[in-house]
Amino acid sequence: MKQSRFWAWLVFGIGAAYFLIPLIATFEFSLRMRRGYYSFDSYASVFSDPKFQQTFTYSAVIGLLSIIVGILVVVPAVYFVRLRMAWLRPYVEFLTLLPLIIPAIILVYGYIRLYNSSSIIPFTGSAVGTDILLTFAYVTLALPYMYRAVDTGMRTIDVQTLTEAAQIAGASTPQIIGRIILPNILVAVLSGAFLTFAIVIGEFTIASLLNRPAFGPYLQNIGANRAYEPAALAIISFIITWGAMSMINLLSRFAPRTSARTD
């Protein structure tokens, strides 16, 4: 018993060291901006840079828009597939996995070819159009995560019976999705939303090739030209991502509970 616990701790220790040592080293390096002693100067430098605020705000806004569009596309799609077209499920699952298989660089070149300023839908012809295109690209990138989160959420409720109960009470399909289905899978949707946000905040390829002032290209630019700030930015990015993941955990406690009692 004791021996098995020792090996378990050893494996855990190696795993933790694998993840934590680079993080600690990066954090330690980010504090060395001033010679001779540790300081948070690199963080002060990052936060005082107006470009940091601009790019972060831009990515946060695009992230929120991507979440909204993602929810509007994915929730009804999963709902109808589960309710009326169960046979379509394997195909939809395959389709949602494609963004994991197709590299972002290919996706963005495809977009540029299809939606350039001389095409029928010239998204890249204006800044707003490019922002819309970027949002759609991020919805696609986050699709595997959003789809799985929503699908898992719907698996925990009896979609068909709840739909029928609401229908017979007079509700229309939008009312059923808005008032019954969505609130009951809200935690799952939010976990998909946080994953989307985490992806959008750090994404470089698409934002860079569409030439948008996003946080990812800013990170890359700082990394190429400064010494200590990139380390500080890496830690900040990690905290943002970690915070988003923690929110998923926290929110799962507020999921509506179902009962199987028969007494």
CB of 257 to another protein, least distance (A): 4
Structure tokens at 225: 């030209």
CB of 15 to another protein, least distance (A): 37
When the beta carbons of 116 and 175 are compared against another protein, the nearer one is 175
When the beta carbons of 28 and 158 are compared against another protein, the nearer one is 158
* Size of interface with another protein, in residues (CB under 8 A): 26
How far is CA 174 from its chain centroid? 26
Structure tokens at 176: 């059923």
| CA proximity to 190, closest of 249, 144, 137 | 249
Name the one range near another protein by CB under 8 A: 74-82, 124-132, 188-196, 252-260.
252-260
When the beta carbons of 89 and 179 are compared against another protein, the nearer one is 179
Element (H, E) at 103: none
When the beta carbons of 84 and 89 are compared against another protein, the nearer one is 84
CB of 64 to another protein, least distance (A): 24
* Residue 8 CB-half CA count within 13 A: 5
The rounded distance, in Å, linking the Cα atoms of 172 and 195 is 31
CB of 44 to another protein, least distance (A): 45
When the beta carbons of 60 and 186 are compared against another protein, the nearer one is 186
Other C-beta atoms closer than 10 Å to the C-beta of 62 total: 24
Per-residue interface string for the shown chain with another protein, residues 79-118, x marking contact by CB under 8 A = ----------------------------------------
When the beta carbons of 166 and 235 are compared against another protein, the nearer one is 166
Q: Which residue has the tokens 């197709």?
A: 102
Other C-beta atoms closer than 10 Å to the C-beta of 117 total: 12
When the beta carbons of 167 and 211 are compared against another protein, the nearer one is 167
Residue ranges of E strands in the chain: none
Asked if residue 251 binds another protein (CB under 8 A), the reply is no
Structure tokens at 198: 């985490």
Q: Which residue has the tokens 């660089």?
A: 105
CB of 192 to another protein, least distance (A): 18
Site residues for another protein, window 142-201 (CB under 8 A)? 157-158, 161-162, 164-172, 175, 179-180, 183-184, 186
CB of 155 to another protein, least distance (A): 14
Q: Which residues bind another protein (CB under 8 A)?
A: 157-158, 161-162, 164-172, 175, 179-180, 183-184, 186, 256-259, 261-263
